A and B are shown apart, each in its own frame.
Chain A
């Protein structure tokens, strides 16, 4: 008496206790997929279905009582993507440690676990039958399994694979038809009360299986093919004895072709990381090479396709796999792997081992894949809360949350140009380098003569790689003979730290390097009234242009730099990050009647573009030399053997093929990334663009290529309204080229 039901393609399917989805369907005369031999062991792709919205579920491995709605797997193409489920529950990860993980709780698995326990080792046993289905072994080793309660991840010293063997499936013409069973599958189907009608057997089928199935003996001879009825099911088995064909009508057929080690998980493990025991460790047999038929039902690869690619020179099992995709589908070689080996052997190739396996061995849901994963966060400056309180629109840039605008970027721009403004520049990379070889190391790390930077002074610098390409920029500030402060781009500090450490260690330089990016905040005080604001907080003698020093602001110890990215008078106050809010509030309060208000990134990017300052990563490309960037002035070829020097010298000798130029448009500029043309010839692309309030024009930086022996002086691009606009190549800085305002 059926206790419950599930829906299958709109039909109610009765379920009896202990049913899998597959046995319930077969008993009702239905199949989840079109055809193929059933194994009842999760090794083949012949019983896939969509259960409660999850596709690629093996019906034989799924308890019928656990599902409400089952849909057949499509006969061709992929299952429909599920609807977005906002109520989906997040899946967690249970991380465990064990001396030994045993995969498989069969006879050999239990024996291995027992032996390990006897040695006093902690043991974790994972078995699909017990609800923990291992889906991968990763380097470590660590073993990942899925369970009803979530994902399980076990770190172990040793892994024992005791996963038994798979039954070899037939590959003959018609093997894709419905109605064939492996011996184990037939026994389980009969036990579950599935009516297999006129059932016959072929091949090597154990006597007890035959007796259980009520079959006297297998059909003699070799299996040649299956013949079909009008419904895509097997109607007859054709065998051959001494060249003579025999056709045996049937409804279903048991096909016994022997077993093959189920060692996929062991093949995922790194060398020495897994031990195979039991029948999973048996030698892999070579079944007879099929003459025809679908060898890989997952990827629908035929024997003829194997012959074709072999004839083209794909003679290794890994190449066969990659060229045809056999073995890359749902069952990961459960059906085809034995035949790929026997095919190659039959073609005269050396007998080859099974192809490699990689996690995961089972289709996982997106929730399972995402289990334990977190969204990558952006770092927050010490002023993050202040920006949000001020209503700033926050955005992520360079790995940090940054205020894009506080609401009115035009007003923010005017604050910088006319009054005084604050900008949170805590995202800049900052390091201290010290030691007897600090100067020598910097001399080789940067293309500048560091020895000429006096204590209290600083210099803009590029960082070049060995190919002479620019990968970062910043400032070097000398504190004393053997101590320097270094700044880097936002998000560039981690890479730069490794770069410096690696090179210095290689050179044997005696240095100390401290990355203070996360422990230091920085506020840029900028605008014509910046000096006055500093005076109000007690800094009456600020450093000169490109100078720096130490100051105490109401008990907050700051390193102050005088430089400018905005084109106006600017002072950066670097300070302990836990004091950022205090310092910000003090500056805002003291500057209130000076018109002090903060500006965000949108304004900063506009200001810097008016000055023609590049942003590494935005205006540079993977192959940007100082010369292409028109930053030769930042490279001192007399300063010694710096990284990238030889590449710079070499590339300086070859004709320049492209360079970064300033463009001026008499109207709004094109969008960043827009292609620029010279006539009908591709001429480059816009890297940065903005409307310049100071110039009342559109301005941009762009890569422009040499065309017919010269660089264009005008280029064409598509404007924001979709019409062509013309940009004139002009010198940079666009605004205040002498830098009078910044140095005032």
Chain B
């Protein structure tokens, strides 16, 4: 995987994360909000201190994500062969599930897709991704 991402990993009340996710979507150009679960949000990219409206929220820096931006054609090739579940059609969109047999997070933009895995899977995912990186 060519890129390692800094991120802010947040566990908080769902309502607090709803508001934070909307703010991230509206305000940040290069920060990608990835909502893993109702109580779990990862803001992928560099962020300043995050103010979460939950006094018990767990907010940690998390630099363990590795990813690769794919062109639309690369993404289509990859997902057609290696993704057994239906990906969302709207853009932008976040999705997660097994891709090439490994747990992955996907961020879909109109012209490109970011595929992200945790550091523990990065070497193996990169090997499985390589055949699909040829077609730009």
Contact = CB atoms under 8 A, between A and B. Distances in A.
Contacts of A630: none
Interface stretch (B18-26, B27-35, B80-88, B106-114): B80-88
B58 A434 contact: yes
B93 to A, nearest CB: 15
A579 B62 CA distance: 11
Contacts of B119: 380, 382, 518-519, 577-578
A187 interface: no
Given A95-B79, A435-B56, A519 B62 contact: yes
Contacts, number: 90
24 contacts: A155-B85, A372-B81, A372-B82, A374-B101, A374-B102, A375-B101, A376-B101, A377-B102, A379-B121, A380-B119, A380-B120, A380-B122, A380-B124, A432-B11, A432-B60, A436-B56, A514-B9, A518-B118, A519-B60, A519-B62, A519-B64, A519-B118, A577-B64, A577-B120
B114 to A, nearest CB: 18
Nearest to A519: B64
Interface string B1-12: 000100001011
A97 interface: yes
Interface string A389-404: 0000000000010000
Interface string B53-77: 0101110111110000000000000
Interface of B: 4, 9, 11-12, 39-40, 54, 56-58, 60-64, 79-86, 100-102, 118-124, 128
Given A510-B56, A577-B119, A153 B100 contact: no
Contact of A576 (B54, B57, B63, B121): B63
Contacts of B121: 377, 379-380
A95 B124 contact: no
Contacts of A512: 11-12, 39, 54, 56-58
A432 B61 contact: no
Contact of B101 (A97, A373, A519): A373
Contact of A384 (B11, B81, B123): B123
B63 to A, nearest CB: 4
A380 B64 contact: no
Contact of B81 (A93, A377, A382, A435): A93
Interface string A458-484: 000000000000000000000000110
Closest 9 CB pairs of A and B: A374-B101, A379-B120, A519-B64, A578-B63, A518-B118, A512-B11, A435-B56, A377-B124, A514-B11
B56 A95 contact: no
Given A96-B80, A380-B123, A578-B63, A514 B86 contact: no
Contacts of B102: 374, 377
Consensus secondary structure, chain B interface: mixed
B121 to A, nearest CB: 7
Interface in A555-590: 576-579
A513 interface: yes
A209 interface: no
Nearest to B65: A519
A555 to B, nearest CB: 13
Interface of A: 92-97, 153, 155, 372-377, 379-382, 384, 400, 432, 434-436, 482-483, 510, 512-514, 516, 518-519, 576-579
A521 B124 CA distance: 18
A511 to B, nearest CB: 8
A679 B4 CA distance: 62
Contacts of A482: 56
A155 B101 CA distance: 18
Which of A97, A374, A510 has the most CB atoms of chain B within a 10 A radius of its CB? A374
A94 B81 contact: yes
Given A93-B81, A512-B12, A518-B119, A576 B61 contact: yes
A435 B62 CA distance: 20
Given A94-B80, A94-B81, A512-B56, A519 B128 contact: no
A375 B121 CA distance: 13
Contact of A434 (B56, B86, B118, B128): B56
Nearest to A510: B56
Contacts of B39: 512
A374 B100 contact: yes
Given A374-B128, A514-B9, A95 B81 contact: yes
Given A379-B120, A434-B56, A514-B9, 19 more contacts: A93-B81, A94-B81, A372-B82, A373-B101, A374-B100, A374-B102, A374-B128, A376-B101, A380-B119, A380-B123, A432-B11, A482-B56, A514-B60, A518-B118, A518-B120, A519-B9, A519-B63, A578-B4, A579-B63
Contacts of B60: 432, 514, 516, 519
Contacts of A519: 9, 60, 62-64, 118-119
Which of B9, B11, B12, B119 has the most CB atoms of chain A within a 10 A radius of its CB? B119
A518 B57 CA distance: 20
A275 B121 CA distance: 42
